[in-house]
């Protein structure tokens, strides 16, 4: 079997076109354009690329963007002060603090990431990292959905992949992807996206016993561990759908968490890296920024 390739890039472009149209309607109705404020502390090269891509995507969708570069040795007080200003600024619809924050080894001031994310106004928290938004999601009444898991939900939906009654194994228990992904797929209603609920979910991780067997029991396998090509062909059931969230640099190659060619030989569908889940994350960030602006205008 050669797996169908799920083209995240094309679906992200489709979603971005829809958002661009909705932004146009919002502005035509007399509102100021939505505005995303991104805070980047330090000069981590990968983070600079991510933030630049987010800015560029905003501009193309008619969303204003403001990049706040802060020095690597920014103190907790300075960072919290800047977040408070953006929280209070009525022209700012959404705020994101690019992660990771610089470590002490990198010249950072020893920033407390949890306290920083807690400080973002939940009504402007377009990453959905604040405890209020995590709690609302957990209760099945989300306000903002976290961007990467929401992108995966959209990908499954738009590729006609049904999740109801299916066994989904999520490998990786991060706050950004694994945990919210598991929660969203297990919801009993459509609160986290159409036709993408009612799954039976296993949240696997580095301490899971018999990981190969657990993965092999998945109808849909979602790899979000951050370890290059950790998911091998023998961990995938014949005909399963495999979603690869990983982006790992190995030498001068970008590889996912899944050994792609091995997966393609057994799965019914796979996502490539790059061009799979990554572009959807940015599309859903734009979606959240537009939603924030709409709620603030109500």
Which residues of this chain interact with ligand GUN, rule CB under 6 A? Answer: 96-99, 127, 147, 176, 281
Based on CB atoms, which residue is closest to ligand GUN, 80 or 99? Answer: 99
DSSP lists the bridge partners of residue 253 as 250
* DSSP one-letter code for 231: B
Based on CB atoms, which residue is closest to ligand GUN, 23 or 128? Answer: 128
In terms of DSSP H, where are the helices of the chain?
Answer: 8-28, 45-61, 76-88, 113-119, 131-138, 147-158, 178-186, 211-216, 260-266, 278-297
Half-sphere exposure of 264 (CA within 13 A, CB side): 10
Q: Does the annotation flag 174 for ligand binding?
A: yes
Q: Does the annotation flag 108 for ligand binding?
A: no
In terms of DSSP H, where are the helices of 120-254?
Answer: 131-138, 147-158, 178-186, 211-216
Q: What CA–CA distance (Å, rounded) separates 209 from 83?
A: 42
Least distance (Å) from ligand GUN to the CB of residue 176?
Answer: 6
DSSP code per residue over 134-168: HHHHHTT--SSPPHHHHHHHHHHHHTT---TT-EE
Based on CB atoms, which residue is closest to ligand GUN, 19 or 38? Answer: 38
Least distance (Å) from ligand GUN to the CB of residue 29?
Answer: 29
DSSP lists the bridge partners of residue 40 as 69
Q: What CA–CA distance (Å, rounded) separates 134 from 45?
A: 29
Q: Which residue is nearest to ligand GUN (CB)?
A: 99
Sheet containing strand 4-5, strands side by side: 4-5, 269-270, 241-244, 220-223, 167-171, 200-204
For residue 171 the two structure tokens come to: 């490998």
Least distance (Å) from ligand GUN to the CB of residue 25?
Answer: 27
Active site residues: 54, 98, 127
* DSSP one-letter code for 124: G
Least distance (Å) from ligand GUN to the CB of residue 286?
Answer: 13
Least distance (Å) from ligand GUN to the CB of residue 135?
Answer: 19
Q: Let me know the angle formed at the C-alpha of 260 by 258 and 266, rounded to the nearest 5 degrees.
A: 100
Residue of 113, 135, 149 whose CA lies nearest to 39: 113
Least distance (Å) from ligand GUN to the CB of residue 252?
Answer: 21
Based on CB atoms, which residue is closest to ligand GUN, 68 or 127? Answer: 127
Based on CB atoms, which residue is closest to ligand GUN, 127 or 264? Answer: 127
Based on CB atoms, which residue is closest to ligand GUN, 122 or 267? Answer: 122
- Binding site, annotated residues: 172-174, 247
- Binding site, annotated residues for NADP(+): 172-174, 247
């Amino acid at each position: 079997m050669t797996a169908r390739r799920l083209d995240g890039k094309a679906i992200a472009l489709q979603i971005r076109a829809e958002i661009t149209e909705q932004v146009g309607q919002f502005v035509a109705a007399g509102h100021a354009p939505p505005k995303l404020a991104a805070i980047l502390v330090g000069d981590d090269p990968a983070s600079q690329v991510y933030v630049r891509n987010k800015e560029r995507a905003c501009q193309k969708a008619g969303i204003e963007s403001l990049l706040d570069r802060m020095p690597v040795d920014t103190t907790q007080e300075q960072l919290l002060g800047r977040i408070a200003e953006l929280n209070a600024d009525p022209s700012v619809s959404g705020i994101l603090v690019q992660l990771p924050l610089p470590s002490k080894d990198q010249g950072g001031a020893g920033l407390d990431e949890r306290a920083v994310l807690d400080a973002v106004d939940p009504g402007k928290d377009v990453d959905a990292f604040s405890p209020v938004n995590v709690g609302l999601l957990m209760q099945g009444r989300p306000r903002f959905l976290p961007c990467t898991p929401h992108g995966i939900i959209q990908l499954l939906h738009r590729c006609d992949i049904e999740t109801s009654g299916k066994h989904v194994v999520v490998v990786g228990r991060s706050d950004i992807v694994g945990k919210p992904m598991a929660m969203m797929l297990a919801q009993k209603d459509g609160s986290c996206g159409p036709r993408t609920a009612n799954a039976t979910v296993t949240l696997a991780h580095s301490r899971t016993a018999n990981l190969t067997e657990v993965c092999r029991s998945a109808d849909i396998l979602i790899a979000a561990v951050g370890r290059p090509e950790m998911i091998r062909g023998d961990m995938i059931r014949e005909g399963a759908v495999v979603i690869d969230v990983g982006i790992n640099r190995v030498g001068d190659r970008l590889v996912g968490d899944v050994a792609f060619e091995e997966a393609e030989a057994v799965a019914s569908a796979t996502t490539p890296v790059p061009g799979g889940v990554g572009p959807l994350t940015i599309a859903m960030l734009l979606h959240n920024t537009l939603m924030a602006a709409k709620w603030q205008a109500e």
